[in-house]
Structure 1
Amino acid sequence: MYRPVRTAGQLAVGGLSLAGLAWVLRAVWEVRLALAGEPDAGPPDQGEGVHRPLDALENSYHVVTDIGGLAALVCAVFFMSWLWRVRDNAIALSRRPPKYAGVWVYFGWIVPLVNLWFPRGILVDAFRNTAPGRKLPVSVNVWWGLWLVGMVSGVGLVYRDDPDQLIARAYHEVWPLLASDAAVVGAAVAGAIAVRVVTRVQLERMRADGPEAVAASVGSTAAA
């Protein structure tokens, strides 16, 4: 029995689009900070545990980063739900065991070093088991390459600096922040395309099993 993927794919596309928009918003605020310039009082983090009161623009950047964090969480939930379904359907279609254990659908994103290739590997394995011999969509590699840029840059989806530190960087070196934001937005766009392509290919493959299988594969996510 196949798991529903159409609605899950639509939700994943929506989550990726939401995350992309959130990072566009971050970039806009970082440009606003750069144009405003650092206040005479200096950066928000004064050092040795001292933080000065934030002005209105700096406070609003904190709100924007919170929105981005929430959008990233929503995106992660929807994307991993879709990826798990695609993986399960690929197993049913190929009658072959997957290359990666199911636990890596979740932990593959957070375990150091492993997170540099496992998530892409899970998607690639599912695609190749779904459509053996078919060329991997370019969007998959573009998505993963841009994701890695955003992750390892330290200011993308997984960043080391807190909002106050990012504010200080925006005052003095905004271009690296904007470059990382652009990578994350690009990854969101490419990821949305990849989800649509892989979902479509899997649905096409399922049609060979008859209308009942197709009806199951496009049913509501709640039915799984």
Structure 2
Amino acid sequence: MAQLLRVLRPLVRPLIAWNYSAGWPTRMSAGTPTDAPFGMVGGRNPISVLVAGGIAGAGIGVLSYQQGLACQLAGVLSRASGRGVDWESLARPSLRLAATGAAVSERADLPSFDVVIILTGVADALALTTMARWRRDLDETLTTMLADVSPAATIIVTAVPDVADQVRVGRFVTAVLRDQIRALNETALAVTARYHRVNFVALPPLERADFDDDVFSYASLYRRWGQHLAALTHRLMAD
């Protein structure tokens, strides 16, 4: 079945990509905050964290970046480490990996961050980005970033979360999207494995608790993802 879907994917890509750009109805559609995408948790010797890419990097679906993944991560990391945390979400309107890579590379202050987290996006799954482009974009993002970050920085790249069931389309397109996400993550795992400083990790899946009367709660998801990534970051920095 997976092989058949991958054969059919190039044939249905234009239709699916058009529907995505036109605005598919999903249980995850939402806007972005308008407040400052940065903040701090007070404490000694603060850890500087940059979160970029995907729905979480952009703060999709919450009223304030204080509810976003970077802020949620910062609070947990501060308690675990006993240190302060300066956090920032790199908020950009485009959620595609290529745009994330370009935005990160523009940061003159990139060497000052102790932790850089790249969240690969649902957008590349919904747009059915080709594996060749995905591989190239991820390679370019990592090569450029690693040339500029501190040699001591902790680098994390997250897998594309499986949101196929949250896009309100037919069963066939859902299956295509699920296979696309699987292929993106297989490719990302192979690419990141070539960079010994990069840690490729999966995020906790969506849960029933993330929905209230069929309305998706981004705040709930970012809280769980923030806790997960904070624990991982603390462990990696301790190694």
Q: Which structure has greater helix proportion?
A: 1
Q: Which structure has greater strand proportion?
A: 2
Give the TM-score normalised by structure 2.
Answer: 0.25
Larger RCO, structure (CA 8 Å, separation 6 or more)? 1
Q: Larger radius of gyration, structure 1 or 2?
A: 1
